[in-house]
Structure 1
């Protein structure tokens, strides 16, 4: 029997109401308290007009049929409360990158057809500038923070709204077909919403499987497991606006574990991470590649805090190099590093575990219902094939991309009657079942765990009047893993100062997306059909490293 995420959360909370569910700064929430708060948020949404979803069976995979609740929030209890609470009201939460500037935010809220916006007070000035441009907007819910920004006209104060709403179970019947929506870019260019049935994301990535890998079929199995499990304390370091942090947190909750949120949420702070590991006796943390691991190692070597409780490091969102894994294992010789490769469009695809008794250079192996398809996506490849194929997954995969039938058909093809998700990773399947990764056939750049899309950086740079043409690529970076490099051809007779160009582009892009280097070229190389030659761009960017 398939399940809805809200139903699973409610059943587990009722099974272990007194166990600590969440710790954030000086606040501690039991499962029972958090269940009441998510009920209140759901009832608040229903009180202000959230609509009953359309029947999923009447809709194509790229259509939603539900109201959307955008979460424009930094990490905190309010993020997880409003995410679960929206699901209890049968609305679909939408993740918003809080680093977006006004143009990017306007695009995302419009593209996602957002009707309800939950935002931290510090972002109220940005929200105020774009509201008239968001056609679907219904209601604003403002979360107080250290900025002390006043409540926008017509907005509801989050905490006051919760306290005024009923703590009872919402009067609606959540369905396994209700959506979990994760906005991403990856192979798709500009950000797009990936539509998962909640039953599918639960089975794929959120802890619905038994130890033998089979999917739970009885709601009481979740409750019984939570009551008897050895409780672990998790600390996800990425922002909840990214799928990695959401999946780790929800998986931990679906097992009855405890989540701790770092005190400092404005940026990644390895000293704060270590302080929380020591203070809360954290067992499991998550990192995002070398960009998170290297600063963590530096802070770790200062030796101020105890890490004796730490047993696992979960890595996702960006690759961690063997040398960094080795350094972590040398420094923390009793831990395991679990490196999971996945995507918003497929869930976990491959995994590699390293410990002091294994080599950090071991390749990842495919997991679950993941396979390698031929280059033409016509059939599965056998282990040991020399052909460079596509890493793919079948079984519990998304329905499609919101309002994008073409991208849906391309990323989720049906082959011999079987539907696959093909996010874009090129791999070889070796004789022993391990995978040799060759990267993505796309123009997306993964810098410090943040996906940056070449097209939107190009568009921002091209707004400068002295720019005739531009392509964006990346080069390796010790700090970020990959860093953005722009190749710019100036208009005839024009010269351009790279810093001035970067500052100009900063009016339209979040700072983390801006190029770390700008290379002036005589001409940007393109194919005969006018399409960008990203192979040339990558070669030029690498040579300039």
Structure 2
């Protein structure tokens, strides 16, 4: 006779990534987990660093559920901080290093983070806003040759490496289950206000299962991690999963096409996540298409519309790009185009991941539409966020009563069930893989002297996917240049959000209710193209 247990054994398994690092350090201590210009790390070294940093954070009161932020470029310190945070059961907050002071303050304040690990290059920006946050503990990265310190640390800053040397490594990682929050990753709303996407350990784990089931990834793989790790694609598409399975991540602080090609060859890279702009730049590197890369099995491209011509150019040289679609809220993949259909279904974002449901609904009625009919793409599955941090209204607006997450993207399913993304319900611009919200840019320009009205839209761009265009109406005798527009907006916006093009008009089109008529505004741009 078999007695049914009172608790499903599968729900009690420990899926804390810090536990996986500890296991890899025990069984392959000398295996290289990180390749980095500032120095490589083995699994044993990463485990010890994370354990010591966790001990430092613990002495400062960081515990289960607290938020720990990281501000800096791609580096071993980013990953060390994340695993140290997970070790304590705390929540990791990766911060976009491109944010300006007001944007940075908004994210940190919303997160409620009480500790931050920061690179010196971002200390000055943080110092200007830290009193407006909940931060109490400030650790400065001081052991990375790629991020040297320019001045001594002064109160409240502390150098991280002496603190880590002075403590004993922390106890083993706490157990984490599927519903425990792991990462708080911020993405702006359509109003430009930051929204914190809660990603649980289960969200991370299930995305990994989906990736393993669909892509040709293997234990011991080498992945190239040059997309920003503070983005869900850069972190959880391939990099984190590769590390947890005992592989190696080749990390660079930023993407440089020539260096990327050298890495693909020198380290025999097996997988690579990129946004289209990165692959466009890589294609311009002399010798790329004359190089044999037989070990490169999985190149996933997402984060922006993928031009079919880009896929075809790589395919002509026996390099297969695999398009995927998802959001921060889906951790990140909801769909993926299998490699064998790269050309037969070119332009498609693929089919639903094995453990994710995707359908297309009428935005007005929330009922499924027929194949070939465009509607809003909705997603449901264990990789989907449970909601937004301290934002019940946003969570309620994003999920329907049956648990479907409404993406805000417009697409259709063909007769074979392949998803094609057509447009966005929201007016978000995706430029070089970065999400840019027009309302935020419009507000930054609203007080420009002589400005009467302004609208911001995206326009197609061969290099970046989309580029930011400011459509401006000014008082008589006033005619700002694009340089003046950018200079004014740069006081409150990160550089990547600044308009690259300017369209001067007599009046900015608005509809009968006084709202910006974005369709008519985009039509004005077509006149110049």
1:452 Cα shift? 0.9
Which of 147, 150, 163 is residue 148 of structure 1 equivalent to? 150
Which of 152, 157, 160 is residue 158 of structure 1 equivalent to? 160
Aligned to 1:128: 127
Query: Does the 8 Å CA contact 2:19/2:173 hold for their aligned counterparts?
Result: no
Range moving further from structure 2, 247-256 or 525-534 = 525-534
Change (3 A) 1:317 1:188: farther
Change (3 A) 1:12 1:377: farther
Aligned to 1:202: 205
Change (3 A) 1:319 1:165: farther
Aligned to 2:321: 337
Aligned to 2:333: 348
2:312 is equivalent to residue 326 of structure 1: yes
Which of 399, 402, 410 is residue 412 of structure 1 equivalent to? 399
Change (3 A) 1:387 1:189: farther
Aligned to 2:118: 119
Aligned to 2:432: 448
Aligned to 1:237: 226
In structure 2, distance between residues paired with 1:157 and 1:529: 55
Query: Does the 8 Å CA contact 2:451/2:475 hold for their aligned counterparts?
Result: yes
Aligned to 1:544: 528
In structure 1, distance between residues paired with 2:353 and 2:214: 13
Structure 2 segments unaligned to the other structure (5+ residues):
1-9
Which of 257, 264, 279 is residue 247 of structure 2 equivalent to? 257
Aligned to 1:137: 135
Query: Does the 8 Å CA contact 1:96/1:241 hold for their aligned counterparts?
Result: yes
Change (3 A) 1:377 1:276: same
**1:256-315, Cα deviation, whole Å (9 max, x unpaired):** 2111112xx2x42100111222222222222211x1111101114367976454333121
2:22 is equivalent to residue 10 of structure 1: yes
Aligned to 1:223: none
1:139 Cα shift? 0.6
Query: Does the 8 Å CA contact 2:362/2:368 hold for their aligned counterparts?
Result: no
In structure 2, distance between residues paired with 1:257 and 1:534: 46
Query: Does the 8 Å CA contact 2:87/2:173 hold for their aligned counterparts?
Result: no
Which of 523, 535, 541 is residue 507 of structure 2 equivalent to? 523
In structure 2, distance between residues paired with 1:520 and 1:313: 41
Aligned to 2:39: 27
In structure 2, distance between residues paired with 1:325 and 1:426: 22
Match of 1:27, SS?
coil
Query: Does the 8 Å CA contact 1:473/1:541 hold for their aligned counterparts?
Result: no
Query: Does the 8 Å CA contact 2:458/2:468 hold for their aligned counterparts?
Result: yes
In structure 2, distance between residues paired with 1:316 and 1:124: 31
Aligned length: 506
Query: Does the 8 Å CA contact 1:4/1:174 hold for their aligned counterparts?
Result: yes
Query: Does the 8 Å CA contact 1:337/1:353 hold for their aligned counterparts?
Result: no
Query: Does the 8 Å CA contact 1:392/1:421 hold for their aligned counterparts?
Result: yes
1:234 Cα shift? 0.5
Structure-2-length-normalised TM-score: 0.89
Query: Does the 8 Å CA contact 1:93/1:181 hold for their aligned counterparts?
Result: yes
Change (3 A) 1:171 1:437: closer
**1:450-500, Cα deviation, whole Å (9 max, x unpaired):** 111111111111121222221110110011110000111224664433321
Matches within 5 A, 1:45-64: 45-52=57-64
Query: Does the 8 Å CA contact 1:487/1:518 hold for their aligned counterparts?
Result: yes
Aligned to 2:184: 181
Aligned to 2:373: 387
1:112 Cα shift? 1.8
Structure 1 segments unaligned to the other structure (5+ residues):
53-65, 214-225
In structure 2, distance between residues paired with 1:404 and 1:185: 13
Range moving further from structure 2, 502-511 or 173-182 = 173-182
Match of 2:506, SS?
coil
In structure 1, distance between residues paired with 2:28 and 2:257: 32
Structure-1-length-normalised TM-score: 0.86
Range moving further from structure 2, 491-500 or 36-45 = 491-500
Query: Does the 8 Å CA contact 2:111/2:184 hold for their aligned counterparts?
Result: no
Aligned to 1:90: 89
Query: Does the 8 Å CA contact 1:20/1:30 hold for their aligned counterparts?
Result: yes
Query: Does the 8 Å CA contact 1:287/1:316 hold for their aligned counterparts?
Result: yes
**1:432-457, Cα deviation, whole Å (9 max, x unpaired):** 11122212111210001111111111
2:351 is equivalent to residue 365 of structure 1: yes
Give RMSD over aligned pairs. 2.6
Query: Does the 8 Å CA contact 1:118/1:143 hold for their aligned counterparts?
Result: yes
Query: Does the 8 Å CA contact 2:86/2:173 hold for their aligned counterparts?
Result: no
2:446 is equivalent to residue 462 of structure 1: yes
Matches within 5 A, 1:235-314: 235-247=224-236, 248-262=238-252, 265=253, 267-289=254-276, 291-301=277-287, 307-314=293-300
Aligned to 2:7: none
1:171 Cα shift? 7.2
In structure 1, distance between residues paired with 2:116 and 2:95: 10
1:354 Cα shift? 4.0
Aligned to 2:108: 109
Aligned to 2:388: 401
**1:308-332, Cα deviation, whole Å (9 max, x unpaired):** 543331212223222111211223x
